[in-house]
C-alpha cells in the first residue's frame, strides 16, 4: 500500500484531536428564544409533571365505564380546556369534555364524540368504552424529577419545546466557542471583487464559516492572508490565546509557498500532519498557546471534507457534546469502482431509494478535490476503506447521507 508510515488514519487523527479537546467549562444562562443551537451545560431535571393532571385525549364525553350499559346517559355539563372548577361526574351521567380538559373525578374513560349520538340532553354510546380509553395520564410525557435532557445536548426545536413545557423561559448553556478562520494564498481575492491575472475568488472561507455555524461558535474572520511567513506569523500571533480554535485553509502541502506548518511549528507546535483520507490528506493539527490549530488543505473539497470530519467533531467535543459515530447506511453500488488502495475515500455520490431496488448509490463522475460542484450535486458520501482495491457493481457499500443543508 502506498500509504506513508507517518500518515494517520482518520480514526487515529480523530482520537488525537479528541485527546487535545478540553471541554469549555464557562456557562451562561440565555433566554429560551436564544437557545436554539446551544449546548446544555448540565443535566436538566424536570420540575413539573406534563401533563399536570389526567386529561381528555379526544373531544367527547367523560364516563364511568360501568354506567355505559344504560341506553341513554344524561349530559351533566361541559368541561373545556383551561377550566379550573371541574365538577365530579355523577353516577349514571356523563360530562361533555374537550381535548386537554382535566378528567373529572368519577370518570374512567372518555368516549370519542364520533362513537356517540346525541339525543337532546343525553347521549348513546355506540362503542362500549374500556377503562383508560382516551385518557392522557398525569406525567405520561414528563415525570417530575426525571432527567429531562442530558448535559451536552445540542438544543434543537424539540428540546426547546420540552423546556418550555416545563414553564422555563431560560436555560444554562456552555459559552460559545471562539473560532478564528483565515484563508491563505496569494491568488485569492474576496468574492465581489474583480479578478486579475492568476487570481481566483476565495471560496473556502465562506464554506468553512458556514459549516461552523451548525455549532455554537462566534467566528472571527481573519480574512485572506498572503503566502508570506511574516504575514502568517502576525495573524497567528493575534489569534493565539484569543481564540479557542484557529482554522486556516491552504498552504499545508509541500509547495514553495506552503508556509503554514512551519510558521505554526515555530510559534507553537504541530501535533500531526497528513491524514490518510481522500480528499484532505495534508491536514495539520497543532497548538498556538492554548489555541488549537487546524490547518485544512486549500483544495476546496478537501477543505470542506476535513472541516466536516475533523474540525466539527473537535468543536463538538470542546462544547461538551458526546462523540457519535456518523450514521452510515448500506447501499447497492450501481457502477464498478476501480482504485488503488491508499487513503480512506469520501466519494461524492447520489443515493436513491425505491421500493423495488432498495437503497442504491452512484458515484458522481468528477471526484477531483478541486471540483466543489461534486459536493453540491451529491446527496451523500460513499465511504471506501483505505485498503480497498476496487468494488464491483452490485456490491454493498457504506454511505453517509447529507442533511438538507448539505452537512453530515
Ligand atoms: N507534490 C505534491 N503536491 C501536492 C500534494 C502532495 O502530496 N505532493 N498534495 C495535494 C493535495 S492532496 C492537496 S489537498 C493540496 C493541498 O495543498 P495546500 O493546502 O497547500 O493548498 P494550496 O496549495 O494553497 O491550494 C491548493 C488549491 O486550492 C486552491 N485554493 C486554495 N485556497 C482556496 C480558497 N480559499 N478558495 C478556493 N480555492 C482555493 C488553490 O488555488 C489551489 O488550486 O496540495 C496538493 N499538492
Ligand atoms: O488530499 Mo487532496 O485533498 O486529495 O486534493
Q: What per-residue confidence (pLDDT) applies to 5?
A: 66
pLDDT category of residue 4 using cuts at 50, 70 and 90: low
Q: 278: Cβ below 6 Å to ligand 2?
A: yes
Q: What per-residue confidence (pLDDT) applies to 2?
A: 44
In DSSP terms, which residues pair with 58 in a beta bridge? none
The helix (run of H) or strand (run of E) holding residue 30 is strand 27-31
pLDDT category of residue 345 using cuts at 50, 70 and 90: very high
Q: Which segments of 40-171 does DSSP mark as H helices, in order?
A: 157-165
Please name which of 61, 80, 57 lies closest in space to residue 126, comparing C-alpha atoms: 61
Please determine, for residue 163, whether its predicted confidence score (pLDDT) is greater than 90: yes
Q: Exposure pattern of 293-319 as b/e (b: 16+ CB <10 Å)?
A: bbbbbbbbbbbbbbbbbbbbbbbbbbb
Mean pLDDT, residues 309-327: 94
Q: What per-residue confidence (pLDDT) applies to 405?
A: 76
Please name which of 155, 182, 391 lies closest in space to residue 298, comparing C-alpha atoms: 182
Burial class of 175 by CB neighbour count within 10 A (0 to 12, 13 to 18, 19+): middle
The reported pTM is 0.94
What is this model's ipTM? 0.98
Q: 60: Cβ below 6 Å to ligand 1?
A: no
Q: What per-residue confidence (pLDDT) applies to 234?
A: 98
pLDDT category of residue 145 using cuts at 50, 70 and 90: confident
Q: 190: Cβ below 6 Å to ligand 1?
A: no
Q: Average model confidence (pLDDT) for the chain? A: 96
Please determine, for residue 3, whether its predicted confidence score (pLDDT) is greater than 70: no
3-state secondary structure of 160: helix
Mean pLDDT, residues 318-329: 92
Would you give the distance in Å from CA 318 to the centre of its chain?
15
Residue-wise pLDDT tens digits, 252-272: 999 999 999 999 999 999 999
Distance (Å, whole) CA 317 – CA 245: 12
Determine the number of helices (DSSP H) and then strands (DSSP E) in the chain. 8, 26
Ligand 1 atom nearest residue 260's Cα: 20
Owner of C-alpha cell 480523530: 14
Q: What per-residue confidence (pLDDT) applies to 79?
A: 98
Residue-wise pLDDT tens digits, 387-407: 999 999 999 999 999 987 777
Q: What per-residue confidence (pLDDT) applies to 324?
A: 84
Owner of C-alpha cell 497548538: 287
Residue-wise pLDDT tens digits, 22-77: 999 999 999 999 999 999 999 999 999 999 999 999 999 999 999 999 999 999 99
Q: 185: Cβ below 6 Å to ligand 1?
A: yes
Q: Closest-lying ligand to the alpha carbon of 257?
A: 1
Which amino acid residue places its CA nearest to atom 46 of ligand 1?
Answer: 253
CB atoms < 10 A from the CB of 365, how many? 10
Q: Which three cell numbers stand for residue 87?
A: 365538577
Out of 174-178, 259-263, 325-329, least confident range: 325-329
Domains, the chain, in order of start with CATH, read 10-26+175-318 (3.40.980.10), 33-50+142-173 (3.90.105.10), 55-136 (2.170.190.11), 328-401 (2.40.340.10)
Q: What per-residue confidence (pLDDT) applies to 368?
A: 97
Which amino acid residue places its CA nearest to atom 27 of ligand 1?
Answer: 299
Q: 344: Cβ below 6 Å to ligand 2?
A: no
Q: 274: Cβ below 6 Å to ligand 2?
A: no
Distance (Å, whole) CA 350 – CA 361: 6
Question: Distance, CA 274 to ligand 1 centroid (Å)?
Answer: 13
Mean pLDDT, residues 142-154: 96
Q: What per-residue confidence (pLDDT) applies to 1?
A: 45
Residue-wise pLDDT tens digits, 114-125: 999 999 999 999
Determine the straight-line distance between the first and last CA of the chain, rounded to whole angstroms.
Answer: 29
Amino acid at each position: 500500500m502506498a500509504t506513508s508510515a507517518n500518515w494517520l488514519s482518520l480514526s487515529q487523527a480523530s482520537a488525537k484531536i479528541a485527546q487535545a479537546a478540553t471541554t469549555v467549562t464557562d456557562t451562561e444562562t440565555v433566554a429560551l428564544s436564544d437557545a436554539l443551537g446551544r449546548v446544555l451545560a448540565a443535566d436538566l431535571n424536570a420540575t413539573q409533571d406534563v401533563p399536570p393532571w389526567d386529561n381528555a385525549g379526544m373531544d367527547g364525553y367523560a364516563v364511568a365505564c360501568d354506567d355505559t350499559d344504560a341506553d341513554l346517559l344524561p349530559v351533566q355539563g361541559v368541561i373545556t380546556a383551561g377550566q379550573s372548577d371541574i365538577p365530579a361526574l355523577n353516577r349514571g351521567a356523563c360530562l361533555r369534555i374537550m381535548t386537554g380538559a382535566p378528567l373529572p373525578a368519577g370518570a374512567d374513560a372518555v368516549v370519542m364524540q364520533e362513537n356517540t349520538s346525541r339525543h337532546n340532553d343525553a347521549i348513546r354510546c355506540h362503542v362500549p368504552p374500556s377503562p383508560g380509553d382516551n385518557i392522557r395520564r398525569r406525567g405520561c410525557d414528563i415525570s417530575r424529577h426525571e432527567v429531562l435532557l442530558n448535559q451536552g445536548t445540542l438544543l434543537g426545536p424539540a428540546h426547546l419545546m420540552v423546556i418550555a413545557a416545563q414553564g422555563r423561559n431560560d436555560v444554562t448553556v456552555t459559552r460559545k466557542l471562539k473560532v478564528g478562520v483565515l484563508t491563505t494564498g496569494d491568488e485569492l481575492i474576496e468574492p465581489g471583487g474583480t479578478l486579475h491575472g492568476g487570481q481566483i475568488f476565495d471560496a473556502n472561507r465562506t464554506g468553512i464559516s458556514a459549516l461552523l455555524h451548525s455549532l455554537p461558535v462566534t467566528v472571527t474572520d481573519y480574512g485572506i492572508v498572503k503566502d508570506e511567513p511574516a504575514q502568517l506569523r502576525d495573524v497567528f500571533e493575534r489569534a493565539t490565546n484569543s481564540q479557542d480554535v484557529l482554522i486556516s485553509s491552504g498552504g499545508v502541502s509541500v509547495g514553495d509557498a506552503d508556509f503554514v506548518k512551519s510558521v505554526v511549528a515555530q510559534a507553537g507546535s504541530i501535533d500531526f500532519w497528513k491524514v490518510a483520507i481522500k480528499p484532505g490528506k495534508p491536514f495539520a493539527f497543532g497548538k498556538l498557546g492554548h489555541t488549537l490549530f487546524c490547518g485544512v488543505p486549500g483544495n476546496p473539497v478537501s477543505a470542506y471534507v476535513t472541516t466536516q470530519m475533523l474540525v466539527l467533531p473537535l468543536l463538538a467535543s470542546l462544547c461538551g457534546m458526546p462523540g457519535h459515530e456518523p450514521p452510515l447506511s448500506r447501499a447497492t453500488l450501481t457502477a464498478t469502482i476501480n482504485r488503488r488502495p491508499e487513503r480512506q475515500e469520501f466519494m461524492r455520490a447520489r443515493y436513491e431509494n425505491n421500493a423495488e431496488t432498495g437503497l442504491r448509490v452512484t458515484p458522481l463522475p468528477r471526484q477531483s478535490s478541486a471540483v466543489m460542484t461534486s459536493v453540491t450535486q451529491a446527496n451523500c458520501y460513499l465511504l471506501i476503506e483505505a485498503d480497498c482495491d476496487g468494488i464491483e457493481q452490485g456490491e454493498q457499500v457504506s454511505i453517509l447521507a447529507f442533511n438538507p443543508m448539505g452537512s453530515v
